[in-house]
Amino acid sequence: MKHQKVISVLLAAAISTAAILPASVYAIAKGDLNKDNVISADDLTLLQNYVLGKAELDQSQSEAADINGDGAVNSFDVSALRKLILTTPRSLKFKAVTDRIQSGFTDALKKLDAQAGGTVVGSQEELKKALSPYFSEAVVKTYTDKYTDSFFKDSVLMIKPVYFDPEAYKVKTPVVKAPCGCTSAYAGTYVPSEAVTEYMNIRKAHDFNSESLGKILPGQKFTITYSDGTYGHVNINGVTGYVNMAYVTKIAEPDAKYTAYPDVKIDSVNYKDSKVTVSASEFHSEDPIGFAAAVIAQAVVLRKDYYATETKWTVSTTAPPPTTTTTTTTCPYPMAKEKLDNVGWDLQKAFNASVIPYYGPADFPKDDKTTMQWYADYGFTNGKGNCYVMAAMFCEMAKLLGYDAHQISGRVPLKAGGYGPHSWVEITFEGTTYVCDPDFTEETKRNGYMITYGQSGTWIYQKDTVMS
């Protein structure tokens, strides 16, 4: 106490008489010397420099500096301002950084609650201790190299790891059946098995004795899109064919698609009652930036502003957006789903169910100004309709089966001459566009399923617009 008294006398001697304030004049915002609406270490530094004769204060600053209200600005106000800082709630200035981590995290992180695991660290050793339970040595080293001892001389680091379960965001892709009967259940990236020492053949058909179209060398990666477990569909270096599944090894599943790309942003850092609360929130990026299962959110605060005895993180979370699948009540084509449930979830069966008796009175729509849904619902309800109705029915069912299908509005030649309005379905499959025309089958009793433009024995199609 004696030491403090001596300093006070010395500092008081340095104060000019201009700092002696009338008892009736006091600043409204006591302690906010720099007028930034925040009482912080910056104000304390300014006050200390003034008392030491290193800075000047204007009239309003002098009023704000008389913390204890005794009409003088001196070292007693320095002590009072320090106490005021400790008891005044405020927002802290911070620098936010969020890193997305693709790998290198442990099972402990997967079990970590969104509100747990956040802490404040003031040294490399504390940082290492905070991250080690959740991340590999390599990841931890990345951060101890980033935040060195020189960094911690001036700053503290508030850090929070968060884990996002990929399965909660992954799109559930239905198994799709190819026209040949193979399914997408085997889709993925493959290499020839160890039994292949020289090469393996790409066959023209699902047959060991069929023509060889090309070769795949040991170690060469390729993609299989469909298979029946015996032969798989491949397209490699422009060659499309089939490989014997007995001589391949799967090394990766198809690239996953996600309903959202979650991340974390830091919204605020607030001080109150010797505690700091870091408020963060989960958000979903609008851009497909690649799914990252983990993030490390970091808030940097200057050490001189950090008067807290503890730090707490709060992270507001949001559930991933719902997905629409063919098995939910949110199915976009409920009548098409009901038809598939009855005839079987198969593309050929869907086509056959779309070949219905032709019905087209004079006032019946014959163009793309009526929606695909209207045409399809008419056919599912009445069991008859024109070419637009049949095409719409099949297009909806094909979409539910997972195919890249579109209803087309166009024209075909008429026996009486000229062209008449017509509608059919395009399906793009393994790089080839096929025509599926139920009305062609209904009128000619010939195959209109998975034919190609210009194919002999079919109609000459002139495409005008895509309806769906």
To which residue do tokens 């008067």 refer? Answer: 307
For residues 315 and 317, give the distance between their C-alpha atoms in angstroms, rounded to a whole number: 6
Structure-block tokens of residue 365: 């729509």
| pLDDT reported for residue 321 | 53
In the chain, CATH 1.10.1330.10 covers 2-88
- With a cut of 50, list the residues of the chain below it in pLDDT: 1-27, 322-329
N-terminal to C-terminal alpha carbon distance within the chain: 85
Counting Cβ atoms within 10 Å, is residue 352 exposed (0-12), middle (13-18) or buried (19+)?
A: middle
Structural contact between residues 361 and 427, judged by C-beta atoms closer than 8 angstroms: no
**Residues in contact with 349: Cβ distance below 8 Å, sequence separation at least 6, in sequence order:** 343
**Residues in contact with 258: Cβ distance below 8 Å, sequence separation at least 6, in sequence order:** 166, 169, 170, 171, 288, 291
In the chain, CATH 2.30.30.40 covers 184-252
Tens of pLDDT, residue by residue over 174-212, are 888 888 889 999 999 999 999 999 999 999 999 889 999
| pLDDT reported for residue 37 | 77
| pLDDT reported for residue 367 | 65
Query: Strand, helix or coil at 186?
Result: helix
* DSSP calls for 347-380: HHHHHHHH---B---TTS--STTS-HHHHHHHHH
Q: Does domain 2-88 have CATH number 1.10.1330.10?
A: yes
Say which CATH topology domain 184-252 has. SH3 type barrels. (2.30.30)
For residues 213 and 202, give the distance between their C-alpha atoms in angstroms, rounded to a whole number: 5
For residues 112 and 263, give the distance between their C-alpha atoms in angstroms, rounded to a whole number: 16
The pTM score is: 0.53
For 334-466, the fitting CATH number among 3.30.2140.20, 3.30.450.40, 3.20.20.10, 3.40.190.10 is 3.30.2140.20
| pLDDT reported for residue 433 | 92
Structural contact between residues 276 and 311, judged by C-beta atoms closer than 8 angstroms: yes
In the chain, CATH 3.30.2140.20 covers 334-466
For residues 402 and 171, give the distance between their C-alpha atoms in angstroms, rounded to a whole number: 13
Count of Cβ atoms closer than 10 Å to residue 318 Cβ: 11
